[in-house]
Structure 1
């Protein structure tokens, strides 16, 4: 089973875009944060951040079991035009897991902050995520783990989710070459 990880700082549009892209491609999407919560794939709750601390070993094992059960149930290669991809895994942690390709969504920190506030994030969380985005933390980790040849960086700033989903679908289909280092938000700092 071929897997694409859709990663990015919280608020970059991963959940919305993953659903749109999966619909265009006819591939299955796993919202990993839901699985972490629902299957208890966390080691503790971070009270200060009001979040769960994922147990990445347990998450990887769960995802491997999921892939195996999906393959056994007959979803082993019919990707309906998805460029050979059968599974799209979406999360701010997706780039830390085994994947064949990684798409990292980016958003300018000044645009990211109101999105996070609208979701009810604390000011500390808003500031932390905006700084993380300015420092390319998820992109850098994705490149470190998967290599430049397997990572696509897509800017979502001031773009409609449908347009971003088109870019994600094109990357997944192999219609665009991998690209990193095309987005720079360091001036935010």
Structure 2
């Protein structure tokens, strides 16, 4: 069974994937598999342009976890969407050295549920688990993910509304 772990940058995907790895689970870092599908750079958005459809079509499914902000584009059996309150996400991204425009773009994407919406456009709700990493520590999130993979943690999505973040500062 392939479980995708996705979310906006800064929501804890890599940290939680590291915990899962330390517990003996197979984890594929999606970012390490896109190289042949990078079409170029988008300097205005400080990101790489990936042929997402070709990457997803060529991806060989694994029995384990696939971590990355594009993991929800893969043919997963289940998907975990990590979420984080936008103001906390901003703090995390600033600490990583992200430029102001990139911080704001990601915080707005989180407030608009962009990755959750993309996930639910492909996967039925009974195959999706949403976790708020603002309040759930990484070890507990890893426990929830392994429980979801085992079928002991029920699916859940659409629980967070951070749209008010978009009105701040107006």
Please give the TM-score of this superposition, normalised by the length of structure 1: 0.82
Cα offset, 1:160, TM superposition: 2.2
Cα offset, 1:35, TM superposition: 2.2
For 1:160, the equivalent position in structure 2 comes to 137
- Partner Cα distance (1:175, 1:187) in 2: 33
For 1:99, the equivalent position in structure 2 comes to 76
Cα offset, 1:23, TM superposition: 3.5
Indicate how the Cα distance of structure 1 residues 159 and 177 shifts in structure 2: closer, same or farther if over 3 A, else same.
Answer: closer
1:22 touches 1:88 (CA, 8 Å); kept in 2?
no
1:135 aligns with 2:134: no
For 2:14, the equivalent position in structure 1 comes to 15
Ranges of 4+ aligned residues in structure 1 off by more than 4 Å: none
SS of 2:164 mapped into structure 1: helix
Please give the TM-score of this superposition, normalised by the length of structure 2: 0.90
Match of 2:146 among 147, 160, 169: 169
Which sections of structure 2, spanning at least 5 residues, go unmatched? Answer: none
Alignment RMSD, CA only? Answer: 1.5
Which sections of structure 1, spanning at least 5 residues, go unmatched? Answer: 71-85
SS of 1:176 mapped into structure 2: coil
- Partner Cα distance (1:147, 1:22) in 2: 27
1:122 aligns with 2:99: yes
- Partner Cα distance (2:140, 2:64) in 1: 21
- Partner Cα distance (2:57, 2:117) in 1: 24
SS of 1:40 mapped into structure 2: helix
